[in-house]
Amino acid sequence: MKHLLLLGMMIAFTVIMLVVLKLKSNSATTISLNATKHPAAFLTIAIGVSAALICAGVYYVDWLQPTYNLTTISTVLFFGIILSFAATSWVPDVVGAKRQLHRGAAYVAVFIMPLFLLSLLTTALPGYITAVIIGVIVAQVYMLYLFLFVPKAQQWFLLFQGLYLAVFFAVLLLMTYGV
Give the C-alpha separation, 110 to 87, whole Å. 13
pLDDT, tens only, 20-74? 888 877 766 777 877 888 889 899 999 999 999 999 999 999 999 999 999 999 9
Mean pLDDT score across all residues of the chain: 91
Q: Do residues 11 and 44 touch, judged by C-beta distance below 8 A?
A: no
0.85 cut: is pTM over it? yes
Sequence-ordered list of residues with C-beta below 8 angstroms from that of 132, at least 6 positions apart, any chain: 170, 171, 174
As a whole number of angstroms, the distance between CA 98 and CA 82 comes to 19
Domain that holds residue 62: 4-177
Write down the pLDDT at residue 23: 81
